[in-house]
Amino acid sequence: MKNNMNVLMTGVCGFVGSNMAQELLNRKYVVTGVDNLSQGESRNIQALSKYSSFSFVKGDVRDADLIHRLGHGTDIIVHLAAFKIPRYGHALDTLRINTQGTENVLESARKNKCRVVFSSTSDVYGKNPQLPFSEESSLVLGPTHVKRWSYAVSKIYDEHLCFGYYEEHGVPVTIVRYFGGYGPHQNLTWWGGPQSVFIDKVLKKEKIPIHGDGKQTRSFTYISDLVEGTICAMESACAVGQVYNVGNGREIQIVDLAKMIWKKIRPHEEPLIEHISYESFSGKYEDVMRRVPDLTKATLELGFKASVELEEGLPLTIEWQKQFV
């Protein structure tokens, strides 16, 4: 790769974007970040303002002209801006922002002849009972009246758009499917994942809210590993036209995560836990009961391997999150 490559990053004020932009600047990339600040925070990019190789544009990925214009002179677009699982409604935002935004990014890449790295999600595997999820696994979703699936549907559509632009227009695309990122700059609500909410509750000595019996599992990936996996995919020539799981292969039950967080913050007290039934959610909700990535492809082709375990990553995240209590 040539030095000082120009990266256009959408969603730069979010959790992954702000951390990845910092790492790219450390590695001498020139980064232009765009974000409409709907979910992200300007404080997340405060530290980046000291770099002359960083610039920020407040704007919306649905603005095709803007995304086209920002693509001039860009080598790579890292597309992170998205609306995630619409737990509290706004499924139309999820569908529109994710699909229109991604098409605008791909059009810009086609016209400006640049590479695209697209951030997809483990949610696309949905309820597939066959674990671990490999990139060849089937994507098994629930019914359309359950709005959570609009997120997976939008990302699956986006992945098809990526392959369409790759095959029909020769746009070099790489798709990364993230599994449960956590760490500094994570969103402090459910938007940022259960660990965010659990840390907040324990710091305040409140009950940890657990959906259902808490036996559903996830795998959690520290932010430096998510960023490393994405940069590996971005810099690898063999990654063009490919999808990669990016995550940590360790599976943990949500109730055990809650107890682990409690123990790290309040080692001498019994955990306070509150179970919340799925029936009490507004509208019909479906949870994913197990989620574990098969990381063979990312390891063999990209040389990526997560290196930060929960025992190390959680204390760093807790320390960061203390300032908001």
Ligand X SMILES: NC(=O)c1ccc[n+]([C@@H]2O[C@H](COP(=O)([O-])OP(=O)(O)OC[C@H]3O[C@@H](n4cnc5c(N)ncnc54)[C@H](O)[C@@H]3O)[C@@H](O)[C@H]2O)c1
- Which residues are identified as catalytic? 151
- 181 forms part of the interface with ligand X (CB under 6 A): yes
Helix, strand, coil share of the chain (percent; to 5): 45, 20, 40
Q: Which is nearer to ligand X, 65 or 274 (CB)?
A: 65
Beta bridge partners of 122: none
- Min CB(151)–ligand X separation in Å: 7
Contacting ligand X (CB under 6 A), which of 7, 8, 16, 232?
16
Element (H, E) at 13: none
For the window 120-159, what string marks contact with ligand X as x by the rule CB under 6 A? -x--------------------------------------
Q: Which is nearer to ligand X, 16 or 25 (CB)?
A: 16
Nearest approach in angstroms of CB 201 to ligand X is 19
**Cα 311 vs. chain centroid, distance in angstroms?**
21
Is 13 or 171 the residue whose CB approaches ligand X more closely? 13
Q: How many residues does the chain have?
A: 325
220 is an interface residue for ligand X by CB under 6 A: no
AA identity, residue 97: I
Backbone angles phi, psi at 278, to 5 degrees: -60, -30
Our CB check for ligand X shows the closer of 244 and 271 to be 244
* Minimum distance from residue 271 beta carbon to ligand X (Å): 24
Stretch touching ligand X by CB under 6 A, among 56-64, 262-270, 273-281, 287-295: 56-64
CB closer to ligand X, 20 vs 202: 20
Q: How many residues of this chain bind ligand X (CB under 6 A)?
A: 30
Whether omega before 143 lies within 30 degrees of 0, making that bond cis, reads no
180 or 229: CB nearest ligand X: 180
Beta bridge partners of 133: 293
50: left (phi over 0), alpha (psi -120 to 50) or beta: alpha
Name the amino acid, one letter, at 182.
Y
Please, what is the minimum distance in Å from the beta carbon of residue 96 to ligand X? 9
Of the candidates 221, 190, 156, the residue with the CA atom closest to the CA atom of residue 86? 190
- Specify the stretch interacting with ligand X by CB under 6 A; choose among 29-37, 132-140, 161-169, 237-245: 29-37
Does residue 83 touch ligand X according to CB under 6 A? yes
- DSSP characters over 59-113: --TT-HHHHHHHTTT-SEEEE-------TTS-HHHHHHHHHHHHHHHHHHHHHHT
Other Cβ atoms within 10 Å of 264 Cβ, number: 16
76 forms part of the interface with ligand X (CB under 6 A): no
CA 33, chain centre distance (Å) = 16
* Residue 13 touching ligand X (CB under 6 A): yes
Q: Return residues touching ligand X (CB under 6 A).
A: 10-11, 13-17, 35-40, 60-62, 80-84, 97, 101, 119, 121, 178, 180-181, 187, 193
